[in-house]
Structure 1
Amino acid sequence: MSNLSQAICLFCGSSSNVDKIYKKAASEIGWVIGTRGGTLIYGGTPVGLMGLAAHATLSAGGQVIGVITKVLQNAEVSHVRQDELLVTDSIHERKSLMYDLADAFVVLPGGLGTIDETIEVLVWLQLKLLDKPLVMLDINGFWKPLFSLIDHTIASGFTPEKNRDLYKTVSTTSEVFEVISNWPAQEK
């Protein structure tokens, strides 16, 4: 995947009450997507890391597509500056649409929703329902407990060892786009 003007689906938190290092990473990811002429696919809200990434993408000249459920749209104000806002009836429909629109997935720190989206993409990759890069930005070891859990499932015989290759882990935003551009196609 050498074309970095693709659509990047970003999974990250919607909380603003987080360390500034996470906020900086969200802004950096959005800025790079925008400067490369890419499209950010995200959860559609203006808050937390999601809002920072969307704002940075737009400020850098990229496109932003928000995907939100009717329930979330009613509970939160949708991002006011988006190129497109897609509203779904269910969270399952929302995630499926985001996966279809994306050329690659980037995971920043986040809460239960971010974990849910990430695990579901891992399962889809395992089942070969997707063949797209999944890059986890592990800032300050944020995702180490999840990686330990995955290792535990492998050691216990529930997950094949080869599933470690379903995702790549990086510690800086610049590495995210290196991984995406060099991502090997999975074996069919």
Structure 2
Amino acid sequence: MSNSLSQSICVFCGSSSEVDELYKKAAQEIGCVIGVRGYTLIYGGGRLGLMGIVADATLAAGGKVIGVITKVLQNLQISHARYDKLLVTDSMHERKRLMYDLADAFIILPGGLGTMDETMEVLVWLQLKLLDKPLVMLDINDFWRPMFALIDHTIAAGFTSEENRNLYKAVSTTSEVFDVIGNWSAQEK
């Protein structure tokens, strides 16, 4: 990865709308920055919750949006109505693989089980060197602190190497996210 900011940013985040306004504001800010900087948002294709907010903000700010959704989710009519491209897959595995391949970097916003699944899989791919892309976790209001504690626990118990703490960077404000991505380099790992 070069020191320049990536062209496509994959954002993993929740699809629930019943969340704190703080998380909604962060999703809007991230989408706005992606759009203003002319980058392409890669995301799960949904219109609900933080997913919809990120997509709407990216589009409103002039950015491109590529949604990646499964046929099942599309049939449930939760896909976003506006995007530059919607890619439909047969399975969740295929969906995740396509998002990983399309992305130059990953931003993790607060979310639920799906967000945790996507995040953990990217971490494993980074660990196995199947990917070499920045992963930034936006730890708003210490949302991800329990996940970081679990990772620390696996390190302390000998299941995870200490160096795996460097697979991701955690930040607490949206203003830090793109600085971390822009300054990411192989030497930091």
For 2:127, the equivalent position in structure 1 comes to 126
SS in 1 for 2:132: coil
Could you tell me which residue of structure 2 aligns to residue 50 of structure 1? 51
Alignment gaps of 5+ in structure 1: none
- Unaligned 5+ residue runs, structure 2? none
| Aligned pairs for 1:68-79 within 5 A | 68-79=69-80
TM-score, normalization by structure 2: 0.97
Shift, 1:94, TM fit = 0.2
Task: Report what 1:64 is aligned to.
Answer: 65
- The code of the aligned residue for 1:25 comes to A
Residue aligning to 1:25: 26
1:12-68: CA deviations, max 9, x gaps? 000000000000000000000000000000010111000000000000000000000
Q: Following TM superposition, by how much is the alpha carbon of 1:2 offset from its aligned partner in structure 2, in angstroms?
A: 4.1
**CA distance in structure 2 between the aligned counterparts of 1:120 and 1:5, rounded to whole angstroms:** 20
What SS does the corresponding residue of 2:53 show, helix, strand or coil?
helix
What is the Cα deviation at residue 4 of structure 1?
Answer: 3.1
CA–CA distance in 1 between the matches of 2:188 and 2:130? 12
Contact 2:69 2:86 in 1 (8 A): yes
Paired residues, what number? 188
Between the two proteins, what is the percent identity of the paired residues? 77
Measure how far apart 1:185 and its partner are.
1.8
CA contact (8 A) 1:45 1:78 kept: yes
1:180 aligns with 181
What CA RMSD, in Å, does the superposition of the two structures yield over aligned residues? 1.3
Secondary structure at the aligned position of 2:186 is classed as coil
State the 1:6 CA deviation. Answer: 1.0
